[in-house]
Chain A
């Protein structure tokens, strides 16, 4: 995880603060930092979102392409995640510095989305055995202030909510070749059901206590982190990061904590997304986002 210079005294101070349920930015152990969300920020992508938790800033764009499904899963589409750590986010990402982290995050997302509870890949099928959509999810980390997993999962879910796949009017089969007829109306699109799309929650064990939404300093102080993927009250993935070990009881506690937090967060996120959509609809032509 990202290196940040902290002295022993500072670490102890953070540790003590968490023991007293009073973190050094004033939050309690179960509090999130303020979040910001904007969808449809990249015009050339079919779905996009920008998500910030405090200073962690994530930009996600989704582009669908046509591909052939895997022979063993003829009725399923494909998703590919790609994470790019901008050197602007952390000095450590310079050069190939961010590659390892990027791979770690994209693998985690892949495993999470592969769960049958998490995402219905069948919705990406065009013509079984022949053609399906392959979604390229490109994630760009613009700034890093801790808790990347959570921020990224929210951003991806928002981008999925925003995703509009061109509608295929008809797909004809001709000697193995598929001929697609697309709708000529750009607003005539298919949307995906995002209810079950999972979010990731990082539970950070600092000392004897678990906190959520760790800041970058807290991440340094933690002995170990656990990332829980939650989709509609179900655990779809579990992953520990940055060494350290967990007692089974702690894991159980962490999972409970994750599920209860995820439930409220997911609801809030969905409400915000719907609200945002209604806002942009009413003032359609006014474009003022951070990209344009």
Chain B
């Protein structure tokens, strides 16, 4: 039987089309139930059990479930559980789910294709008896609800007929829907059994944990509670507002330091639009695309300089009274002069909710099921969830999804998804790190592994012919200890004319990773290898990264070589690039190489080669610094890891040797040479790296801080800055200069990859290196950008062919965006990993160490501890602090009686891990010296004793604080080669 489906569509040109689709109704669609004797089933059609055991306490009789679309969309987590089976999913639901959310559709498909789950797809839309046409004035939702009810009714009648004839036990169809109206119609009009998902899941008394997975969406009206937040505008209102220019659209970025502050990045504004206060933030969560309204100019303010943490202890009772935090915020903001556009969020255009890692906040009320979830990411608000297994979850890292954020609720509402593992467990914490930083860390798929060359890998005659044979040359590699992915090696030798030939040999990864293959796509998506303290997440499978590509000692490997002829003063006479076969004579560590150079008795090829390289590197470095390259600093530490427990047992600041700088100089030289070459050959398509010149406003905190110390700093150009940094030295404070460099690092912008055709030549400049052009060529094993650069260079010298995508500017720009994003995330993940290990290190120990005041805030001091590269906060005001501090905004100082704190002042602090809260261990900074009555703690030589006496009054009244992740963990934008 034929019927027509009619839609009206608007096409791109704006024309209105009436589209007619033929729709055939069939009589040969079977019900899929084992108890049916009417339908002539094939065996594989029989999915639904003949006598489904009932697990529900309300519905004792055997039953099949039928669901409506919203149930699947909201409660897919529940349906993924094996407990729920014998479910009929009608075509209407599948279509609607597919239309609304492709992610949930995929999950639903996975359930449907698993026969063990007993989920049956009933194609009701093509069944003659269950197809219905939309009636006039009926909304499509109502029509779909009716279609589902019709299918349910058909099933009920069909099964009744069957079971009556065969005298089998009767089977009920239970329609699960959270739509009260739909439920009413099903019960009253169609005489069906229907209930809400909640009711049903609650009735599964043997499986109480299922209830936690329920998504709590309230369909009831919100009017009975007093709303905390102003309402959002409707989509149409926002649309009109944006079109008329009254409202602005942008992405919302929450402040990391202050939970009541955030900003919206709107394209047409130079500065971010500031949003302050709970009502103005109006339920926006970091990453959402929001609609913002500007406040009148007299209400504009500036970002407050205080650190605020949400410490709301009373999660159940909500008040709209302005709490203390908000008061502090207002006071601090109102005085400042430099006001910036301020607005309030009036609507959410698109939510960017994902699943969040975090922990459960212990609830004072025992036995309650309502809990507060604290996400690991500080930008994300706390989430209210319901769970009955809280006791079990307290000691675990869990993942929670946000469902909704109603007006009357202070926090968004969500549900528990899964537990990652015990708190404090390294595996769990690493997993959290990786998830939070969006690092793809799953195992490589079989498809990717299939792209690998088969072992044993043998170099063929053809390969030797195509490549320059450098096996005889004394090439060696210098890397940090324990490095298995060696992607560079060096050599140098004297030429007959007195010049020196220097070669940099980079692993030829592009030989193994061919464009367009699965492995290429995977590597492009991962973009970079991520280094955690105790773990490496490879960009390419280990076979390549640690074996075939790695330029290990005394094995033949393919390399991409960059060979210069340099004169005695390290001026480049000639440059050539070619692919080669090399056999590294030695894989050295920095330390070993240094020893060889220093050992006068060694005079073999490698020793000579290294000494020559070292001399040249010194010249190169000097020249680079003269040009204005910056020497920046960041506290970097290494952990010595216990080989058995995998816990850090010692922390050491990373040592820098001459050889580090030697390798670095030649890598920089190679990168610059390659950048010049590919930019010349592909002026429109070269992938380069730039480091934008920071705007002068970025330097303001630095200039201010230095001025209070009686120095002036010239930030007008990189060169001036470099000179200033060299000159500002304080004899009584040897760490002063390093701190300045740390501060300067924070003024920098991120270095980014870009495609040469998208920017003008003057924008190519690399500020940190003072290089007019730069790229990444030297680490293809761990960076995808290098692979692209290799391909470009290979195309330049005719060693490889180009392909369409290599010269596609748009595609490559998108690729650059991904590389930049992943690099940033990898950096953050690395830092977070360091912070995590620091926590582990301080477990069961506390220590008094020397620190420096990095910033003076209105309500806190930020302290840097060079020994551990740590940064933390000491709060100066709060409920339980007796000492009275006076903040001087003019010269950025805090005074208490006769003790004054300035930036850069040395202090002694005690570091300890606050483990009173098992859930949320925090590194606590406490002031020891200078001593302030009622604020500082007594110095105590017996460190362990203090740690075990938490009843000491100071411990208790300290505000909860958390070490801020080492903000300066790495140089701004990977300027230098680093393993």
Q: Which of B15, B19, B136, B137 contacts A65 (CB 8 A)?
A: B15
Q: Which residues of A contact B240 (CB under 8 A)?
A: 172
Residue A6 at the chain B interface, CB threshold 8 Å? no
CB neighbors of A among B776-832 (8 A):
none
Given contacts A43-B6, A184-B140, contact A66 B14 (CB under 8 A): yes
Q: Tell me the bound Cα distance from A184 to B133 in angstroms.
A: 14
Residue A188 at the chain B interface, CB threshold 8 Å? yes
Q: Which residues of B contact A284 (CB under 8 A)?
A: 133
Q: Mark A194-211, 1 if CB is under 8 A from B, else 0.
A: 000000000000000000
CB neighbors of B among A268-292 (8 A):
284-285, 292
Q: Tell me the bound Cα distance from A65 to B15 in angstroms.
A: 6
Q: Tell me the bound Cα distance from A187 to B10 in angstroms.
A: 16
Q: Mark A162-185, 1 if CB is under 8 A from B, else 0.
A: 000010001010100010101111
* A173 CB to nearest chain B CB (Å): 8
Total interface residues in chain B, CB < 8 Å: 25
Q: Mark B1-29, 1 if CB is under 8 A from A, else 0.
A: 01110111010001110111000000000
Q: State whether A182 touches B15 (Cβ < 8 A).
A: no
Q: Tell me the bound Cα distance from A117 to B955 in angstroms.
A: 93
Q: State whether B8 touches A186 (Cβ < 8 A).
A: yes
* B123 CB to nearest chain A CB (Å): 20
Total interface residues in chain A, CB < 8 Å: 24
Q: State whether B14 touches A185 (Cβ < 8 A).
A: no
Q: Tell me the bound Cα distance from A63 to B243 in angstroms.
A: 31
Residue B138 at the chain A interface, CB threshold 8 Å? yes
Most buried by A among B3, B18, B139, B240: B18
Q: Tell me the bound Cα distance from A40 to B8 in angstroms.
A: 17
Q: Tell me the bound Cα distance from A250 to B134 in angstroms.
A: 56
Residue B618 at the chain A interface, CB threshold 8 Å? no
* B491 CB to nearest chain A CB (Å): 64
Q: State whether B14 touches A180 (Cβ < 8 A).
A: yes
Given contacts A184-B140, A185-B139, A186-B134, contact A174 B14 (CB under 8 A): no
Q: Which residues of B contact A166 (CB under 8 A)?
A: 8, 16, 18
Q: State whether A44 touches B134 (Cβ < 8 A).
A: no
Most buried by A among B2, B16, B20, B140: B16
Q: Tell me the bound Cα distance from A46 to B239 in angstroms.
A: 30
Q: State whether B18 touches A182 (Cβ < 8 A).
A: no
Q: Tell me the bound Cα distance from A174 to B139 in angstroms.
A: 29
Q: State whether A172 touches B239 (Cβ < 8 A).
A: yes
Q: Which residues of A contact B140 (CB under 8 A)?
A: 184-185
Q: Which residues of A contact B243 (CB under 8 A)?
A: 172, 174
CB neighbors of A among B27-43 (8 A):
none
Q: State whether B10 touches A182 (Cβ < 8 A).
A: yes
Q: State whether B138 touches A185 (Cβ < 8 A).
A: yes
Q: State whether A182 touches B3 (Cβ < 8 A).
A: no
Q: State whether B134 touches A65 (Cβ < 8 A).
A: no
* A183 CB to nearest chain B CB (Å): 8
CB neighbors of B among A139-180 (8 A):
166, 170, 172, 174, 178, 180
Q: Which residues of A contact B136 (CB under 8 A)?
A: 185, 187-188
Q: Tell me the bound Cα distance from A65 to B9 in angstroms.
A: 12
Q: State whether B137 touches A185 (Cβ < 8 A).
A: yes
Q: Which residues of B contact A186 (CB under 8 A)?
A: 6-8, 18, 134
Q: Tell me the bound Cα distance from A180 to B134 in angstroms.
A: 23
Q: State whether B7 touches A188 (Cβ < 8 A).
A: no
Residue A64 at the chain B interface, CB threshold 8 Å? yes
Q: Tell me the bound Cα distance from A267 to B140 in angstroms.
A: 38
Q: Which residues of B contact A65 (CB under 8 A)?
A: 15-16
Closest to A134 in B: B15
Q: Tell me the bound Cα distance from A24 to B550 in angstroms.
A: 104
Given contacts A66-B14, A182-B8, A182-B10, contact A187 B134 (CB under 8 A): yes
Residue A79 at the chain B interface, CB threshold 8 Å? no
Q: State whether A44 touches B18 (Cβ < 8 A).
A: yes
CB neighbors of A among B219-239 (8 A):
236, 239
Q: Tell me the bound Cα distance from A118 to B7 in angstroms.
A: 31
Closest to A184 in B: B140
Q: Which residues of B contact A43 (CB under 8 A)?
A: 4, 6, 20
* A64 CB to nearest chain B CB (Å): 7
Residue A192 at the chain B interface, CB threshold 8 Å? no
- 18 pairs from A and B in contact (CB 8 Å cutoff): A43-B6, A43-B20, A44-B19, A45-B18, A63-B18, A65-B15, A166-B8, A178-B14, A180-B14, A182-B10, A183-B8, A184-B8, A185-B136, A185-B139, A186-B7, A186-B134, A285-B133, A292-B2
Q: Which residues of B contact A (CB under 8 A)?
A: 2-4, 6-8, 10, 14-16, 18-20, 133-140, 236, 239-240, 243
Q: Which residues of A contact B (CB under 8 A)?
A: 43-46, 63-66, 166, 170, 172, 174, 178, 180, 182-188, 284-285, 292
11 further A-B contacts with Cβ under 8 Å, apart from A44-B18, A44-B20, A186-B7, are A43-B6, A43-B20, A46-B18, A166-B8, A170-B236, A172-B239, A180-B14, A185-B137, A185-B138, A187-B135, A187-B136
| A-B CB proximity, top 4 nearest | A187-B136, A186-B6, A166-B8, A44-B20
